[in-house]
Structure 1
């Protein structure tokens, strides 16, 4: 199977490439440092599996990239690689189209099993997170949806919110996302309106509470 690895740390990309290329049934055909580059590599190589880091600052995050890549290349299976053992992240990446979720500290054998499972059409959840997923699904109701930024905000708004919270100005954000300053201002206004926030400090507090700063 052909594999692309996307992670913002070169040592992780190199290490995982060595592990996977040692397998007779696997070949790493490309690597990427953020979500945008991951999209480009998937478009170029059309891999069977994309191993995608969830948090890749300052580039596009794995959460945003998952939705975009799955929409454009549904045949590519996406295995999320992360250090977050948090059911909120797990639930949202699966809803965005990911086929698996594995922690970075998992043993090599578990990584290989995860890659083979998603490639075969299955869903792989890190054993440490399986119980959390069940609990999240059982308690996730419409009342919770009202406080869920991943359902309230659009993908573009989810990109812009953490940048605002980190202190970037409208011009800086427009240059980072290749959109106009007016578009940034319009998205910012919609974000504040949807989340019922009145100031930047409130937005920063919200982003920290919802663990959105890495995105």
Structure 2
């Protein structure tokens, strides 16, 4: 692990909060005080074994935007050191794991009672890697299309990443739950105080429209699609 300013500040904060000196901290870790001094210099390295011990201690004081979940669901830290070698990979997007649903699963979802995360836990939904391309987006889930129901616009094996915290913008792709119907994927449009959502299937058999002030009478929830990807094989 390469030391960055986040790690330096986290070590200092840990020592201050726990009223521990460098020597006592070093003794508790079984290392020399010189090693602590080394860890407080941006660009230096911390061995995997030492980082495994250090990380849980300073985790509460590390920058949250550098924390991510690995493939096993364990928290990891992505160093932001500008002194890293060119051979060290620094991810452009820090991946996180989000619940993955099928379109039929969403028939059971009520956003007034549960967050997407809570719903995923109740449903024991599998997790899928999401690489954020938008800042400050939370409550994201993946929607996996295993058939051609929404072709040719969204072919089989498309994965949509949907945000349950945002509202749609004109011209966006949305996942919507109409009252008394099944969830659908459509395009959202808004003109003045009127809105319309048209399903993206070939025959566009489903169409919801009306005044924005009356939208709650027709729609349980509507979430924008942040982006989607197609797995070809």
TM-score by length of 2: 0.25
**Bigger share in strand:** 2
TM-score by length of 1: 0.26
